[in-house]
Amino acid sequence: MKLELLPLSAATYDPHPLHRPDRVWEQTNCSMDAWIEVLHSLGLEPTAAAAFAVSTDFEGDQWTFYKFPPEDLWTTYGIDVHEMAPWRNPLDHVVEQLRRGRLMTVEVDSFHLPDTQGVSYRLTHVKSTIVVNSVDTGSRRLGYFHNSGYHELEGDDFDGVFRLGQHADPAALVPYTELVRLEHLRRDPAPALAVHAAALLDKHLALRPQDNPVERLAARVTEDLSWLQGEDPQRFHDYAFVTVRQCGAAAETAAAFCAWLAERDPRRAGPLRESARHWTLLAEAARAAQLRLARLARGRGASLEDTWAGMAGHWAAAQKALDALSSS
């Protein structure tokens, strides 16, 4: 039995421009990246709902692991997302919901995701989030959104993703799953979409950190450096991912949103473009910080003090430009 919501092929799939290879951070995190491509494939513009990126924060031991808030997806596109109770095998739920014209997000083991070749596929067990678009239970094939594209898998990987056959494990915890209801999906014209985006921005401006989170990030990384130097490369990778990478990727997402809205809101274009410029500079500086931090973690390289100062300055300048929106 084959079920498919959108007529897609991994061989011909064209990702959204937010995943262009020339971006500072081509990928953000598994959930955010998958959602970008889901929205893109539904004929929607994901950038319009990305205002939340301006309010991401340093959470004490990591930067906000961000994704589109469900309420923003509802406001912008009429997409209803909520958690499911997976009382059956996830495959049974996927089949049930595809029959109803709905998508599901499913937490799976990247060990069985061939698009992670060279990173985790057949190498290490790492949880990740996919969005299932098609399933063929007879031939054991799956079409899914993950990271920066649309992919397909089959055979033993299919069994591994859904814990079937030799991969069955009754003691394993059930995965986190979400239902994506599309019954009220809207594709608003450009002017209305810009109005929704501006309203989301106003909401998230009120949710911004009260101090400079980059300064707190810098202080924590500096404090952790001696510990990090004694850890293995994988632990460094994990640490860098949740700190400087999420900071930089969130900044680039904020830049994309501000630039997108500036093109559609001439009255506020000046402050939005200025904010986008500093968000981009922050994203670039975070990339440099990650490379320098890797050297420091190996006991080489110079201090990151100047890099941190530049990053904090760009965060402050980006937010100052957004503050001007209230008077523009």
- Position 327 scores a pLDDT of 57
- Please give the share of the chain, as a percent, with pLDDT higher than 90: 94
The two tokens of residue 116 are 């992670």
Q: At which residue do the structure tokens 């031939």 appear?
A: 139
Q: Is pLDDT above 70 for 11?
A: yes
- Position 209 scores a pLDDT of 98
- Give per-residue pLDDT as tens, 260-271: 999 999 999 999
Rounded CA separation 328/270 (Å): 9
Q: Is pLDDT above 90 for 328?
A: no
Rounded CA separation 204/69 (Å): 11
Looking at every residue in the chain, the average pLDDT score rounds to: 96
User: Three-class SS of residue 109?
Assistant: strand
Entry pTM: 0.96
Q: Is pLDDT above 80 for 21?
A: yes
